[in-house]
Chains A and B, each alone.
Chain A
Amino acid sequence: GENVEQHPSTLSVQEGDSAVIKCTYSDSASNYFPWYKQELGKGPQLIIDIRSNVGEKKDQRIAVTLNKTAKHFSLHITETQPEDSAVYFCAAPNSGYSTLTFGKGTMLLVSP
């Protein structure tokens, strides 16, 4: 099955700085890579995703890049704000595509 590795496990930045979270996957057939954000006391929520036919996708301050050759994808958050503080999960399809295999999460702390 798919194996998703996520780094770092924690990331502390100052407000206004950029943050980058990286993930690797094992199944070269995977073609859909979402990112979910989990705020304290809430369930994860989809914030952005990318498919294997594009290398980059942007949505305001967040962007995701994909390198299929190297089998890794990254989440980039620019001009971070305190409300960006949360746990971020990357994911890739499991074998059979019925659901997602999630990375172990990155706790992002943005200090004012």
Chain B
Amino acid sequence: DSGVTQTPKHLITATGQRVTLRCSPRSGDLSVYWYQQSLDQGLQFLIHYYNGEERAKGNILERFSAQQFPDLHSELNLSSLELGDSALYFCASSGSSRLAGRGGELFFGEGSRLTVL
């Protein structure tokens, strides 16, 4: 158990709809990262928050947005959903003062599987 909690574990919705994925990081971790995992693209970095502030953006679509709240939990909002948005969405947290790219270990949740029909 990594200590990172993601809800819901599974979500099935229709094209054009909007969903919210939730992540609770490990106790005390200030950094939250969101990744999208699909069969053909592997793990794609979406966005990084540190203590409530956006720190880095990756390949995140304009239809997607995220935020980190004062209690450090984070939400990823996906809107105007398309079939191609079907994927496993991971949240990871890090408590290290080091950035992930400099050696801060990422602790991943078990993911939220989104299916868009």
Contact residues of B between 21 and 69, Cβ < 8 Å to A: 33, 35, 41-43, 45, 48, 55-56, 58
Interface string of A74-103 (1 = CB under 8 A from B): 000000000000000100011011111111
Query: Contacts A32-B101, A96-B56, A99-B101: A105 and B42 contacting too (C-beta < 8 A)?
Result: yes
Q: Are B105 and A46 in contact (CB under 8 A)?
A: yes
Chain A residues with a Cβ closer than 8 Å to the other chain, count = 24
- Chain-B contact segment, one of A12-20, A36-44, A57-65: A36-44
Query: Contacts A99-B33, A99-B48, A99-B56: A51 and B110 contacting too (C-beta < 8 A)?
Result: no
Chain B residues with a Cβ closer than 8 Å to the other chain, count = 25
Asked if B109 is at the interface of the complex by the 8 Å CB criterion, the answer is yes
Q: Bound state CA distance, A108 and B58, in angstroms? A: 28
Do most interface residues of chain B lie in helix, strand or loop, or is the interface mixed?
mixed
Query: Contacts A89-B43, A94-B45, A100-B45: A41 and B101 contacting too (C-beta < 8 A)?
Result: no
Query: Contacts A43-B110, A46-B106, A89-B42: A97 and B101 contacting too (C-beta < 8 A)?
Result: yes
Q: Are B45 and A49 in contact (CB under 8 A)?
A: no
Asked if A104 is at the interface of the complex by the 8 Å CB criterion, the answer is yes
Asked if A45 is at the interface of the complex by the 8 Å CB criterion, the answer is yes
The smallest C-beta distance from A111 to any residue of chain B, in angstroms, reads: 23
Asked if B81 is at the interface of the complex by the 8 Å CB criterion, the answer is no
The smallest C-beta distance from A14 to any residue of chain B, in angstroms, reads: 26
Contact residues of A between 1 and 38, Cβ < 8 Å to B: 32, 34, 36
| B108 closest partner in A (C-beta) | A43
The smallest C-beta distance from A32 to any residue of chain B, in angstroms, reads: 5
| B41 closest partner in A (C-beta) | A104
> Residues of B with Cβ closer than 8 Å to A?
2, 4, 33, 35, 41-43, 45, 48, 55-56, 58, 90, 92, 99-103, 105-106, 108-111
30 contacts between A and B (CB under 8 A): A32-B103, A34-B105, A36-B106, A41-B110, A42-B110, A43-B4, A43-B108, A43-B109, A43-B110, A44-B90, A45-B2, A45-B108, A46-B106, A89-B43, A93-B101, A94-B58, A96-B101, A97-B99, A97-B100, A98-B56, A98-B100, A98-B101, A99-B33, A99-B101, A100-B101, A102-B42, A102-B43, A102-B45, A104-B41, A105-B42
